[in-house]
Structure 1
């Protein structure tokens, strides 16, 4: 195994032409240079220099090593600079996989802050609903997954992952403008038992069924779609009512739809997930911290 310190000294000896000149350039003694070159020759297994008067001449092995030494030292220097930049958060890549409403709200706020404060951090974005997003982390497809879960339901198989709670996202009732229940500041879920319902994504539909069962009725689900705009359009024309997380309404609100808090209050938990060993990497730790700050400042928290 070649010692990089010995290679650096060898490079200086080749440039200076003598051990004494290299010692002066490096600010050390000639015996120290001699000792390092002998150690390097032992590693190589053959002589690197022969005497030619007062100067040194490279052997064939020395010439071969000299051809590579500059490149090796240059690559080591570049590696040190890049690692230093990563440690100082001047460089880095973080891959985030999030569900659609997080990609439309939380993630852009995170990216805006990173662009302003750490422009060398590159964010790559993917989209998937849980539990699919969680499975991408152990596979190495992404570094951080944003996922949600409802009361009574597990987020998915997150045994290998560290959970970073971000926020609680209230679930609201969506009613067409003019609906009698919209006259109240909040809507009792049981008062909507006779309504037709429009369900969202599979997890949201499961939460709808669970929440209604807790209030003693089974909802009449006539439409189901994971398109939030389609849900609101269906509500706006009176095709039914729906439950929708407040995070969605933060970026998408139909002008013919009224949103009201639900009683009893229900919410979904939003959290970030990462592998434990990755949370010590500076760029990933930074993004997790910014995610917490952004979520804490969000109006729906």
Structure 2
């Protein structure tokens, strides 16, 4: 399929990719904590018939330099842009911290018709990096809504990583330790996905070494199903934190963090999820 690309500058900022023949369904694509890197994914989605906008949501002009008290409304500007492009069905796809934001967006912005959360969290975790004040401390929420911070679960400051033979650090244990150390705060920080009418697709690998995304995805699924809300959960026992859709390149290897999985397993998880992703984002056919 022939696609058209356009760089969007200002607020919001990112890459817009759309089918040359147009499209009625669009998706806001959110990167994770590593920063911008959604262009290949946007092109893939555009080739599948979607209008895709990969938006920079922190670290840009007028934004917090870290993931610290990022206004969910600012992420909603990506939906504004898609709507202005003539998109009728609005979806959001996020990875990791971007999935955390995507879940909140679907709860707080009723325009969101579909959510694809790759390697999600079930709760709001604290800031990663500095806020607009340039400070990482005191610890604060990752997100705000209407000027108020959203409840968050604190991280266990006593946790220390276990040495690995490959020299990489797995952070999964820190999130598991934090969940167990602060159970009341963890429950209070739950993202209330039962309040979202959007269709959900949750994608998680059991070998995710960044955080316990599969346990989180199962918790999200249970709450959604208890409320009778449409939710698909796609998993793979050997996949890690970074599933890859058909046609996407393998994720770049890290020199310090352990993400888990293998290229083959991450690709298998993405391939299994892909038809669910497209079905959710494109919605009912006319």
Q: Which has the higher contact order (CA 8 A, sep 6+)?
A: 1
Going by fraction, where is strand more abundant, 1 or 2? 1
Q: TM-score, normalised by structure 2?
A: 0.29
Larger Rg: 1
Going by fraction, where is helix more abundant, 1 or 2? 1
Q: TM-score, normalised by structure 1?
A: 0.28
